[in-house]
A and B are shown apart, each in its own frame.
Chain A
Amino acid sequence: MAYYLPSLKLQFRYLMFVSFWNKLSINQKLAITAWLFLAVPIAFYVIIRFYPTFEAFYVSTLKWNLLGAKKYIGLRNYEKIFADEDFWLVLLNTFKYAGVGVPISLFLAFSIAYFLNEINRWHDFIRALYFIPFLTTAVAMAWVWKWFYQPMPIGYINYFLTSVGIPAQPFLKSVHQGLYAIMAPAVWAGLGFQVIIFIAGIRAIPRSYYEAAEIDGAGRWQILREITLPSLKPTVIFLTVVSTIGFLRIFDQVYSMTTNGSGGPLNTTKPLVLMIYEFAFDEFKLGRAAALTVILFVILLVISMFQLWLMRKKP
């Protein structure tokens, strides 16, 4: 029975393919292999991420409440957003979260990593202490922190402040302090991740650099300024990109720590993602939510590209 020999047609096709393949240059072959490797992932991303994203972008030109008919309204959603004074406050809040949160957390994380690198006794244990907060859930921690922020005589933070002579603070109940009060647990939770990355970056600096500097008689701070920090530039930039995206997208802490989950008091703690969430699922104004998503996307893209462009320059 002739079942297992390929037909003449197939044999011919195979020979054609082999002779075609042999005529390609190495670079072309590598390029084809690359695309082969990328085939399934690209299909995945296109179907699962890009297509829904373009749909979301399209929805931003609609008036749609999820269950009813879709009505095309062009750029009206964007007009309404830019005319809404709450939007500008929310935008400012979002930038504040990142603008204050990223430098503080990077500074803290670096300091912790730098000094942690020098101690040996119980190093693993202490390092774990700094990382474990990263594993907690935002909801549970929000509840705990809310108790920390209580006024006297219950709140630990105010108790601590008043015992050193600083008057008690309203924290979450203040239009000025609220944002920073919420930023604190966000910084606290993210610290562990940054500390670990910094430790690794510091340990990757070749000993020879340090030995050379010591021979030259350089002091601690000089070494820090001229060797450690410059060598850490790629690490710092990686963490900056990732942390900035993270803070610009802050949501869980604000939702869990504010009254009604609404970014109060008086919208002073509300970030963009919360505004998107509210429009989408509290008011079912999907068009507006989608438009805000587009705006957020553009902001994230521009900032990340800018930070990556900085990374191109060699130290």
Chain B
Amino acid sequence: MIDQASRIAYLEKIQPGKIIIWTLLFLGGVVMITPLAFMISTSFKTGTEVFNLGIIPENPTLKNYIFILNESKFLRWMLNSLWVATFSTVSVVFFDSLVGYTLAKFTFRGQTIVFVAILSTLMIPTEMLIIPWYMMSREFGWIDTYWGIAFPGLMTGFGTFLMRQFFMGLPDELIEAARIDGWSEFAIWSKIAMPLVVPALSALAIFHFLGNWTAFIWPLIVTNDPDLYTIPVGLASFNGEFETDWEIVMTASCLATLPTLLVFLLLQKFIIRGVMLAGLKG
């Protein structure tokens, strides 16, 4: 039986206006994807075909993928990238939320200065910091180690800023009540506050994972041994002084994008739901 209400709802669903909007958005999405489509299509082309700029390769070949997986330590690099990015992301999720929470839910003298100071770390390009970092790594024997690659990224100003905003959106009463009940501060943070911002943590996780995954300059400087390279560094070794086989570069980029794509697809629902719950209140 179709009653009046659902008939109206059905008609509302197929408003011509909505169809136009849907079509425009869909087409826009397709346009957004076009450069990526080229990257993927080039990865299946041979060196000679690279310059036929059609989007479908005429003689699709897996040669490039085979070349990368056989001739280079690509899988090893992917493992290194995965390991470093995951370790760094876990650390960031832990520490940035701890600091963000402390800056949001405690009142104490000097908290604004601490916040501004941490925020200001976003304003220095990494290029200027790699030299002191290298000296430090040398001193402590961190060259060619996972720790050496990961240590600069264990806590970030961006993540702290983000988490602070989210924690500020939580009602203070919740925390007060727990304090009155005798909970320790650490327990309040870990058992009450954190579960409420899991979606925000997912957003932070994916943004940080992605940033870490594509980091190039520091991993390049701190590693000498190709077994320790992360993916961006490994990819760079395909470019000689004068050689750049673009079909190889595209293939490598495709391979490098896959894990981040997976992480995004897994976490995207959390992000929307979560950022929505807190609404980024000021």
**Is A140 interfacial (CB 8 A cutoff)?**
yes
**Is B201 interfacial (CB 8 A cutoff)?**
no
**Is B95 interfacial (CB 8 A cutoff)?**
yes
Cβ < 8 Å to A, chain B residues 1-45: 13, 18, 21-22, 24-26, 28-30, 32-33, 35-36, 38-39, 42
**Is B141 interfacial (CB 8 A cutoff)?**
no
Asked if A31 contacts B108 (CB within 8 A), the reply is yes
Asked if A238 contacts B165 (CB within 8 A), the reply is yes
* Residues of chain A lying within 8 A (CB to CB) of residue B250: 140, 143
Contact status of A129 and B30, CB under 8 A, knowing A154-B53, A234-B280, A293-B125: yes
Cβ < 8 Å to A, chain B residues 77-110: 95, 98-99, 101-102, 106-109
Cross-interface CB contact of A30 among B22, B106, B123, cutoff 8 Å: B106
Asked if B39 contacts A141 (CB within 8 A), the reply is yes
Asked if A48 contacts B25 (CB within 8 A), the reply is no
Q: In chain B, what residue has the closest Cβ to A273?
A: B125
Contact status of A56 and B124, CB under 8 A, knowing A33-B185, A115-B21: yes
**Is B147 interfacial (CB 8 A cutoff)?**
no
* Residues of chain B lying within 8 A (CB to CB) of residue A293: 124-125, 127-128
Q: How far apart are the CA atoms of A277 and B125 in the complex, in Å?
A: 10
* Residues of chain A lying within 8 A (CB to CB) of residue B210: 134-135
Cβ < 8 Å to B, chain A residues 114-145: 115-116, 118-122, 124, 126-137, 139-141, 143-145
Shortest C-beta distance, B232 to chain A (Å), equals 7
* Residues of chain B lying within 8 A (CB to CB) of residue A56: 124, 128-129, 132
Number of interface residues of B (CB under 8 A): 81
**Is B256 interfacial (CB 8 A cutoff)?**
yes
Asked if B253 contacts A41 (CB within 8 A), the reply is no
Contact status of A112 and B275, CB under 8 A, knowing A139-B253, A145-B35, A304-B123: no
- CB contacts between A and B, total, < 8 Å: 221
Shortest C-beta distance, A224 to chain B (Å), equals 14
Contact status of A137 and B53, CB under 8 A, knowing A33-B185, A41-B98, A119-B21: no
Cβ < 8 Å to A, chain B residues 234-282: 246, 249-250, 253, 256-257, 260-261, 264-265, 268, 271-272, 274-282
Which of B56-64, B65-73, B113-121, B222-230 contacts the other chain? Answer: B113-121
* Residues of chain A lying within 8 A (CB to CB) of residue B123: 245, 296-297, 300-301, 304
Shortest C-beta distance, A265 to chain B (Å), equals 21
Q: How far apart are the CA atoms of A280 and B217 in the complex, in Å?
A: 13
Q: Main SS of the interface on chain A?
A: helix
Asked if B28 contacts A112 (CB within 8 A), the reply is yes
Cβ < 8 Å to B, chain A residues 15-69: 27, 30-31, 33-35, 37-38, 40-42, 44-45, 48-53, 55-56, 66
Contact status of A196 and B282, CB under 8 A, knowing A132-B33, A139-B249, A300-B123: no
Cross-interface CB contact of A203 among B28, B265, B272, B282, cutoff 8 Å: B272
* Residues of chain A lying within 8 A (CB to CB) of residue B192: none
Q: How far apart are the CA atoms of A27 and B282 in the complex, in Å?
A: 24
Q: In chain B, what residue has the closest Cβ to A121?
A: B22
Shortest C-beta distance, B216 to chain A (Å), equals 9
Contact status of A188 and B32, CB under 8 A, knowing A41-B155, A48-B133, A238-B165: yes
Cross-interface CB contact of A143 among B124, B129, B246, cutoff 8 Å: B246
Asked if B127 contacts A45 (CB within 8 A), the reply is no
Cross-interface CB contact of A35 among B42, B108, B271, cutoff 8 Å: B108
Shortest C-beta distance, A99 to chain B (Å), equals 18
Q: How far apart are the CA atoms of A148 and B36 in the complex, in Å?
A: 12
Q: Pick the most buried of A30, A40, A136: most chain B CB atoms within 10 A of its CB.
A: A136
Interface mask (A228-247 → B, CB under 8 Å = 1, otherwise 0): 00000111011000100100
**Is B131 interfacial (CB 8 A cutoff)?**
yes
Shortest C-beta distance, B180 to chain A (Å), equals 11
Q: Which residues of A contact B (CB under 8 A)?
A: 27, 30-31, 33-35, 37-38, 40-42, 44-45, 48-53, 55-56, 66, 112, 115-116, 118-122, 124, 126-137, 139-141, 143-145, 147-148, 154, 156, 185, 188, 191, 193, 196-197, 199-201, 203-205, 233-235, 237-238, 242, 245, 249, 251, 273, 276-277, 280-281, 286, 289-290, 293, 296-297, 300-301, 304-305, 311, 314
Query: Could you show 5 A-B contacts with beta carbons less than 8 Å apart?
Result: A137-B253, A204-B276, A237-B282, A245-B122, A293-B124
